[in-house]
Amino acid sequence: MSGDRARLIRAADAERRELRGPSRSGTVTILSDPETTGASSYACGAQQLPPGAQIPIHRHPDQEEALLFQGGRGEAFLGHDWQPVSTGDTLHIPAGVWHGVRNVGEEALSLTWLISPPGLERMFRAISVAEGEPALPLSDTEFLEIATACGLEYPDLPNPTRAGSKTRRQGD
């Protein structure tokens, strides 16, 4: 698909996916990326985290990310500590900064993500199924293999891209 054509992505036409839980439960909608719109320098989408769900602490060594909170109440880990987040808040996450999100509210936590360069959407496609298909859980090992292949790193878990080492949070 050509990236030089502007287009409107209608909600009904967006790629909706169900994440394979349990800790990665919820839904993700891929709105714009190289595959769907031809975007060459970013990818963006929306994510819904049900109560108690989380985005595990991780980092993108070579990607910047922004998270825009659209509804609900949660906590975001950014760099070194947890901070409350709610509707209207935005996180700017430079490359290499540890971050994560957890829903501590009683309703879904809705957010929009934007990442540059693209790549996160490949992980979402690999750890999810199309809406309405059975979402069989992934093991931690399966998830880690997919995530590291897509450039993500996780603290306290061996990362295959780092030959037997463990990554650590900034400042540890």
pLDDT in tens, 46-95: 999 999 999 989 999 999 999 999 999 999 999 999 999 999 999 999 99
Taking residues 122-134, report their average pLDDT.
Answer: 93
Please check whether residue 170 lies inside any domain of the structure: no
Residue type, 156: D
Please check whether residue 100 lies inside any domain of the structure: yes
Residues spanned by the domain of 93: 15-162
Please check whether residue 6 lies inside any domain of the structure: no
pTM reported for the whole predicted model: 0.86
What pLDDT, on the 0 to 100 scale, is given for residue 170? 38
Count of structural domains, the chain: 1
Please check whether residue 171 lies inside any domain of the structure: no
Please check whether residue 51 lies inside any domain of the structure: yes
E runs forming strands in the chain: 15-19, 27-32, 43-49, 54-58, 64-71, 73-78, 81-86, 90-93, 99-103, 109-116, 128-130
Helices (H), the chain: 120-126, 140-149
Please check whether residue 128 lies inside any domain of the structure: yes
CATH number of the domain to which 47 belongs = 2.60.120.10
